[in-house]
Structure 1
Amino acid sequence: MPVPSSAPTEHKLLRDTVRQKIHEAIMDGTLEPGERLNDDELIAWLGVSRTPIREALSQLARAGLIEMAPNRYTRVTTPDPTEVIEAMQTLGVLFGGVVRLAVPRLGTASRKRILSALDKTITELEAHDVPAVNRDALGVFALYVDECGNENLQRVCQDTMDGLAFRLRLPNLDELLDWDQMTEDFRRLRAATADGDNIAAELATEAIHMLPGEKR
């Protein structure tokens, strides 16, 4: 029986390139929440045919960054305040395990990099700089994902965390959450990471993301 080739096809590479460009445009704000995506405009921008664009949009819809309704619209997801807690808790389930695995594995350089990122985010939290927290807090946990050593968990996080975090991009996020408590929980995460205490780091991460169960 002929063995299928595992080499990527040109079509797959096109789809992946298109997905990455649209993904970046959504995450950096070039494409705004609620903005409609027109196939012809995307074709003109990206210089590719309709097929890889539609496939890329379908993947981004599964990730939660795009909303699609057949024959009605394709648009960038609009964050909904009623979904904040659910998105936070879903991220907490993922990131709690990531942090527990990552902290014991951290070398000097990677620990220093994560602590620096935490310091920046804590400063932004203290200043109630919501756009900066929306931008940088996910980056903090992406560093833990890189260090966790579990490829399956890394793939799950990479497939889902941007779409979930995008749902938190609300200008009044500090009014929807206990901002002061979250700031304190980030401080706890920093201290636990510095000490190499992965259990305390996991609990702090879960508390940041509104998971119930820990007595404070």
Structure 2
Amino acid sequence: MQYVAVPIPQGSPAVDRALLRDDVYRRLRDAIVDGTFRPGEQLKDGELAEWLGVSRTPVREALLRLGASGLVVALPGRSTTVSAIDIQVVRDAKDVVAAMHELAVRQVTGRISAHDVDRMRDANRRFAAAVASGDVSAALDADEELHQIPVAALGNQALEAVIERFDPLIRRAERLRFGVDGRVSVSRHEQLIDLIEAGDAEGAASVAFDIWHSLAVDENPEAEA
């Protein structure tokens, strides 16, 4: 793969200097997932720090976390680069994330509040509207919000850490393939929410697993990017 220097976006508002390291990590993670930083591009901590309006220290820490997630690769003596999308790695991550969501939904069903169920329905309505309008970013944001609700309601920090580590790998590949399965996902979301509301833990868990495990990320998305 040929490595190229990353074109740092211009005009992006700087983050507040008081924000925690997590905010820098999320900004860089999201820039990789949404394609702002593409596979093979170099990420120089000084340029990234200037872009975000922070010191190099939280940027370097964020890059280490991104390396642990497989989103970047640090080459000795060279700048860190955005990793290529490895479909086998994505498949492995998909298996793990699907199992985590299955576990979360099974354990939270029967305990989740009616307010949280309503929030899931609202997120799915926004997801459906975004799919209909072809707004990939809004659709994926609403989808992430929907699935995060039962995870947050469970409050299992170990489970949340696993999802946080591997979910971005799936989202990056999914974004490049998004479209054909969107309308199917709307109905599957509704089925999931209905089963959670009805207190059917096993049925809801099965649907949660299937939603994640059946994501169409099994071909090389970079071939069409």
Q: TM-score, normalised by structure 1?
A: 0.71
Q: Which of 135, 142, 149 is 2:148 aligned to? A: 142
Distance in 2 between the 1:185 and 1:161 partners?
Answer: 19
**Structure 1 residues 1-216: aligned runs within 5 Å:** 15-16=21-22, 18-27=24-33, 29=34, 31-34=36-39, 35-79=41-85, 84-125=90-131, 130-170=136-176, 172-174=177-179, 182-210=185-213
The 8 Å contact of residues 67 and 76 in structure 1, kept in 2 or not, is answered as yes
Distance 1:120 1:190, change over 3 A: farther
SS at match of 2:43: coil
SS at match of 1:105: coil
Distance 1:206 1:14, change over 3 A: closer
RMSD: 3.2
User: Structure 1 residue 202: deviation in Å?
Assistant: 0.7
Structure with max Cα Rg: 1
User: Structure 1 residue 68: deviation in Å?
Assistant: 2.7
User: Structure 1 residue 96: deviation in Å?
Assistant: 0.7
Q: Is the deviation greater in 18-27 or in 35-44? A: 18-27
User: Structure 1 residue 50: deviation in Å?
Assistant: 4.1
Structure 2 gap ranges (5+): 1-18, 215-225
User: Structure 1 residue 109: deviation in Å?
Assistant: 1.3
Distance 1:83 1:168, change over 3 A: farther
The 8 Å contact of residues 108 and 150 in structure 2, kept in 1 or not, is answered as yes
SS at match of 2:155: coil
The number of residue pairs the alignment matches comes to 195
Amino acid of the residue matched to residue 199 of structure 2?
A: G
Cα deviation code 1:158-187 (max 9, x no counterpart): 3332343233221x3345xx6665454333
Structure 1 gap ranges (5+): 1-12, 212-216
User: Structure 1 residue 201: deviation in Å?
Assistant: 1.0
User: Structure 1 residue 126: deviation in Å?
Assistant: 6.3
Distance in 1 between the 2:134 and 2:21 partners?
Answer: 38
Give the % identical residues.
Answer: 28
Q: TM-score, normalised by structure 2?
A: 0.68
